[in-house]
Amino acid sequence: MKNLPFNILYTISLLLLIPVLYSGCATVPITKRNQLNMISDRDITASSLQTYNELISTSALSNDWQAKRTLDKVGKRLSIATEELLTELNQTDEINYLDWEFNLIEDPDTVNAFCMPGGKIAVYTGLLAITKDENGLAAVVGHEIAHAVAKHGNERLSHLMMRDLGANILLGVLSRGESTARTQQVILTAYGLTTQVGAILPYSRLHESEADKLGMIIMAKAGYNPVHAVYLWERMNENSKTGMPEFISTHPNSQSRIENMKLFLPEAEKYYKP
């Protein structure tokens, strides 16, 4: 393979990856998008549980019983709605990996929440000033549950595995040629930047948009008006301090997100029963 042009080497790498791509295909509920999942649900759930338990054991949990009670109430309604939705979609096997848990972490400076694969959820108290009430909290938690239901964590890890595999294949091909170490480094750096900006980041933004849509459906099915998800992100936009261009961000910018969520509303409202 000596003296092959870079575009041919890149094509060879992609061709070698195709069998792996086809071996791990899955479909996202509701959106029906095909995705790459190379890690078993059992393995990623077990790993996530360990990470979650370590975080909770080393974090200060909130003593605000009223806020904790609200989180438990919202979480219970959303978890029931999620399992009902999966049942309606004939995906009852997915419920076997769900063991719901909701924790409120005392950290007024952190505006964040997450849901691990398996239904382990944490909300930081810094987020409560923006969620304001039960509806806003339902929008956040519904969004995080949607990430887990759509298996975005699995897909992201799978993409990183594919990127690293592609880099290893490319390095192996380059090392058999006559290119210098510096040339190899330049090519590998270009490959890394191309896959990050052209694949990893766009998929991260797609995940966020997909979780917005699915999260609105989950909160609507739980009896929360999905329009409150739009209101939440309008408040998020007002509190946003970042000016990062969208194409180098893992999240869509707030205004794009709000406009997309308004487009999602009619579908989400079909599931809404006050």
Distance (Å, whole) CA 238 – CA 248: 21
Task: Yes or no: say if 140 and 103 are a contact pair by the CB < 8 Å rule.
Answer: no
Name, in order, each residue with C-beta under 8 angstroms of 134's C-beta and a sequence gap of 6 or more.
70, 73, 74, 224
Q: What's the token pair of residue 245?
A: 């261009």
Domain that holds residue 143: 1-274
pLDDT at position 136, please? 96
Record the tokens describing residue 4, joined without a space.
């092959």
pLDDT digits (tens, 9 = 90+) for 103-143: 999 999 988 898 988 999 999 999 999 999 999 999 999 99
- pTM assigned to the model: 0.74
Q: Flag whether pLDDT at 148 surpasses 70.
A: yes
Most confident of 60-74, 163-177, 242-256: 60-74
- Give the pair of three-digit tokens for residue 255: 């205004």
pLDDT higher than threshold 70 for residue 257? yes
Token pair recorded at residue 244: 């990062």
Phi, psi of 151, rounded to the nearest 5 degrees: 60, 40
Q: Which of 84, 144, 210, 267 is catalytic?
A: 144
| Tens digit of each residue's pLDDT (9 = 90 or more) over 73-104 | 999 999 999 999 999 999 888 898 899 999 99
Nearest alpha carbon to residue 75 among 134, 141, 147, 144: 141
Note if 144 is an active site residue.
yes
Q: Strand (E) positions, the chain?
A: 25-27, 34-36, 101-105, 113-116, 120-124
Residue with tokens 């393995």: 43
CA separation (Å) from 171 to 11, 40, 189? 14, 28, 11
- The domain tally of the chain equals 1
Centroid of chain to Cα 10: 28
**β-strand 101-105 against 120-124: which pairing, if any?**
parallel
Cα–Cα dist 93/226, whole Å: 27
